[in-house]
Amino acid sequence: MGAVNKTILVLSGGKEAIEGIRIAKGMDLKVIVCDGDRNAPGRALADEFLHANIYDPGAVESALAKYRGKRKINGVITIASDAVRAVAAAAEYLGLPGISKETAFLATEKLEMKKRFKAASVPGPHFAEIGSKKKLRRQICIFGQAVLKPVDSRGARGVLRVDENTDIDWAFDYSMNFSQSGKLILEEWFPGPQISTESLVVDGKSYLCGVADRNYSRLDETFPHVVEDGGETPSRYSPAIDRKLTKLLDRAAQSLDIRNGVIKGDIVLRDGEPNIIEVAARLSGGFFSTFTIPLVYKINIVEQAILLALGEKIMPPLILKAHCHQANRFLFVGPGTVKKVAFPSQDSLPRFVKYFEVNVSEGDVISRLENHTMRRGSVLVIGKSREQSVERAERMVRSIKVEINCKSGGRSECR
C-alpha cells in the first residue's frame, strides 16, 4: 500500500482514538500521538508522544517546532476529536497534504459554514447571527421553533431548543458560556428524521462509507437540551437515499473546498429530501469510524483516511453494502448522588457486544444531562436485523444498574 516506514501524527490519544491508533500501527506506520493529557490512553500504543492541547493550533505548532529534526512526519490526522484547525496548521507547518487553514476554520465555525452553504445553495435550515438578547427575541418570533448554539462548540454543548416561551436572558447567557469566540447562531428547528453520514473525499468527489439513523427518542426528556441517544446503522433510509446524500455531500465538500480527506454529515430529512445541519472535515467519534463502519460495511475508513493524509492514492467504495446491523445506546444517569452501581464484567459480555463502557462510580454527584459529554456509559452491539440490534443494545443498557439518591431527597432506581 506504499505507507510502510512512514510516520503519521495523530491528534488525540483519547479512548475513542485507540482503535484508530491500532489501525495505523497495523499499517506498519510509526505513530506519533499528540494530546493535551500526558496520561491519554492512546499514548501507550504510540511510538512517540507530543504533549500539546490539540484544540490550540499554535500549541501544536510549537510542539512540532521542538520536535523538528527528529523523525520525518509524512501525514497528520485527527481521530475521534474535532481538532481540525490544529490538523490544518500542522499540515501547513510540515508541508503535508491536508485541508487548508481556511477550510478548517469554515468547517468548525457554524455561522461561516452556513454562509458558504447558502452561497452554494446547499439546502439547510434558515439561520441568523445572534449578537444580542434583543436580536434573539426578534429572530425567535420569525423562526418559531428554533435552536440556539455557539458557533464554535461541539458535543452539543450550549445547544438549546428555543421558542417564544423560552427565557431569553437565560438561553442567551447559557449558550454564550460555551462559545470561545463569543458568537451565537440561531437556526430554524427542522423536525424530521436525523441521519449521520461519513464519506471519503477524493479529488473533490465524496464516497459514502456509512449512513446511520440517529436516535433522538429522548428529546422531550432532555428539552431544551439536544442529546442524542445513539442510533442504528445502516439507516432505514439507505440505500434508497444514498445517491441524494452523495450529491449533497459533494456540494457541501466543494463549498468548503475539502478536496481530499473525510466529510462527516449531520443531516435532517424533510419530505424525503436531505438537508444539512452541518458537516465536519474529519473522522467521526462515538466509534462510528473505528468500529461501526468496519463492522457493518467491511470498510476500513480509518486506514483509507490515513492513506489520504499521507498523500497516497486510495480506492474508495463505489457502493455501500451493509453486512450486518449495528445499534448503540448511551447511559443516561441522574441527577443525584450515585449510591450503588452494578454491571456485567467485560469477560461475561455476549459476543454481539462490540463496546461496553460504564463511567459512573459510587459517590459521583451527577447533574442534569445537558450535552454529550455528560453521558455516563456507552454500548455498541451488532445483530442480524435492525430490531435485533436495537433490542440487544437496550437490553445491555438495562443490565447497568445505577441506584441514585436524587437531589430532591427521594431515592430512585434510574436504570
Ligand X SMILES: Nc1ncnc2c1ncn2[C@@H]1O[C@H](COP(=O)(O)OP(=O)(O)OP(=O)(O)O)[C@@H](O)[C@H]1O
Asked if residue 159 binds ligand X (CB under 6 A), the reply is: yes
The one segment of 184-192, 255-263, 317-325, 391-399 that binds ligand X by CB under 6 A: 184-192
Q: Which amino acid is at 53?
A: N
Burial class (CB in 10 A: 0-12, 13-18, 19+), 127: buried
Nearest approach, Cβ of residue 73 and ligand X (Å): 28
Q: Find the binder of ligand X among 163, 242, 257, 266 (CB under 6 A).
A: 266
How many CB atoms within 10 Å of residue 217? 11
> Which grid coordinates belong to 338?
450515585
For residue 147, state whether it binds ligand X (rule: CB under 6 A).
Answer: yes
104 lies in the binding site for ligand X (CB under 6 A): no
Q: Are 212 and 195 in contact (CB under 8 A)?
A: yes
Among 154, 329, 375, 415, binds ligand X (CB under 6 A): 154
Q: Do residues 10 and 79 touch, judged by C-beta distance below 8 A?
A: yes
Q: Residue from 74, 81, 103, 153 that binds ligand X (CB under 6 A)?
A: 153
Binding track over 65-104 against Mg ion, x by CB under 5 A:
----------------------------------------
Name the E strands within 72-150. Answer: 75-78, 127-130, 146-150
Which one of 125, 230, 265, 334 is in contact with ligand X (CB under 6 A)?
Answer: 125
Distance CA 211, CA 265 (A): 9
Closest C-alpha among 15, 46, 54, 12 to residue 29: 46
**What is the size of the binding site for ligand X (CB under 6 A)?**
20
The yes or no reply on residue 372 touching ligand X (CB under 6 A) is yes
Could you say which of 194, 199, 215, 328 contacts ligand X (CB under 6 A)?
Answer: 194
- What DSSP designation does 289 have? I
**Given the rule CB under 5 A, which of 135-143, 164-172, 199-207, 261-269 is the region that contacts Mg ion?**
261-269
Of these, 49, 93, 174, 189, which contacts ligand X (CB under 6 A)?
Answer: 189
Does 335 sit behind a cis peptide bond, omega within 30 degrees of 0 on the bond before it?
A: yes
Residue 16 interacting with ligand X (CB under 6 A):
no
Looking at 1-9, 15-23, 88-96, 151-159, which segment touches ligand X (CB under 6 A)? 151-159
Query: Per rule CB under 6 A, is residue 268 in the interface with ligand X?
Result: yes
- Asked if 278 is part of the footprint of ligand X (rule: CB under 6 A), the reply reads yes
Which listed option, Mg ion, ligand X, none, makes contact with residue 295 (CB within 5 to 8 Å by class)?
A: none
For residue 10, which of 39, 38, 47 has the smallest C-alpha distance?
47
Contact of residue 80 among ligand X, Mg ion, none (CB under 5-8 Å per partner type):
none
- Count of C-beta atoms within a 10 Å radius of residue 239: 15
Q: Which position among 16, 109, 187, 370 is part of the footprint of ligand X (CB under 6 A)?
A: 187
CA proximity to 349, closest of 385, 298, 400, 311: 400
Q: Binding to ligand X by residue 229, rule CB under 6 A?
A: no
Stretch that binds ligand X, among 64-72, 153-161, 294-302, 393-401 (CB under 6 A): 153-161
Query: Hunting for cell 501544536 — which residue is that?
Result: 60
Question: Which of 6, 5, 37, 10 is closest to 21 using CA atoms?
Answer: 10
How far is residue 186's CA from residue 241's CA, in Å, rounded to a whole number? 28
Report the length, in residues, of the chain.
Answer: 415
* CA atoms of 10 and 46, how far apart (whole Å): 9
Q: Which of the stretches 23-31, 186-194, 231-239, 354-362 binds ligand X when contact is defined by CB under 6 A?
A: 186-194
State the residues that interact with ligand X by CB under 6 A.
Answer: 125, 147, 149, 153-157, 159, 187-190, 194, 226, 266, 268, 277-278, 372
